[in-house]
Structure 1
Amino acid sequence: MCTSHDQLGAAELVRLARDSDQVAWSELVRRFAPMLWRVAAAYRLDAADAKDVCQSTWCALAAHLPRLRHPDRLAGWLVTTARREAVRLHRREPWPGPAPETADPRPEHRPESRALRSARDRLLWRAFAGLPDRCQRLLGLLAHAPELSYAQLAGAVGLKAGSVGPARGRCLHELRRHLAGLGLELP
């Protein structure tokens, strides 16, 4: 069978990569590498650390490929793995803030603004953690991999392609509800 690898779905590419098909591996990397870079960039890592996150994620996939239970959800697996790698790296080497003499004078960069933003972010993550797993995966993919099509999102989260939009709306409504319960109202 002579099928162009760029027309295959993630699950089929995973199956071929398991069978040592290097073209399938190349297609997986071509297709998902930009997404991994965006995940690393979301953690404000420098270029070398972002490369480490991406490389570690691909190495983890190579190690887990034979045991990957849901190859049709590869995008979600890659995003989750890259996020964990970025968090691990970020905890090891926290992002340095600006030196006091070079601190940004804009109001949104003042310590009090950063403290309020930090408190708001903690509430947001607390509300996010209270969402069902499927909502966390869907909203996480939408935030960290906006280039994914609804069909790809559906495959990664285990939904039908036509259900992604309504599920997204329900998940955002639930997130707003959790935030309101924590005292944070959104416009």
Structure 2
Amino acid sequence: MDSNTEVLVGWRSGSHGWDALVERYSRLVWSVPRSFRLSHADAADVYQCTWLCLAEHLTRIRRPEGLGLWLVRTATRQSIAVVRARGREVPLDLWEPESPLPAPDEVAVTTDRQRRLWTALTTLNERCQRLLRIAAHSPELSYAQVAETLGIKVGTVGPTRSRCLAELRRKVEGLR
């Protein structure tokens, strides 16, 4: 097999030196990006960029016997660049809303409903306001915990909540 010097001289003179270089170092160059655990596509890009760099700098190689090391260093630099670039990328789906944006008329209707609900809630007595806020924001609480928080009997939580919701419903409907 020809030495690197003979292959480089042959390539520079137009013979088949390039194919011999690729055959000789292909596995080595390919192993570098794969050692960085790059995807197959990214590793293929690094592989191609490494060979492109060699083609661009082939006439500047002073020590042909160090060509393997040069290829490894170049592939390493390329792999690190890909890793850094991937670390800065944000997947596109993080920027897209989870659901389509509502139409402006839907936003207006929802905003109006929320305004009427909060207006009606503030007209309820303090006990109903507190009970409904607890029910809305802490549904996991048991009746015993709600009763203790409000200072009422456990048996009155359910009926009081029902009366408060009925009153809230009447007030919301009255605001239409």
TM-score by length of 2: 0.48
TM-score by length of 1: 0.45
Q: Which has the higher contact order (CA 8 A, sep 6+)?
A: 1
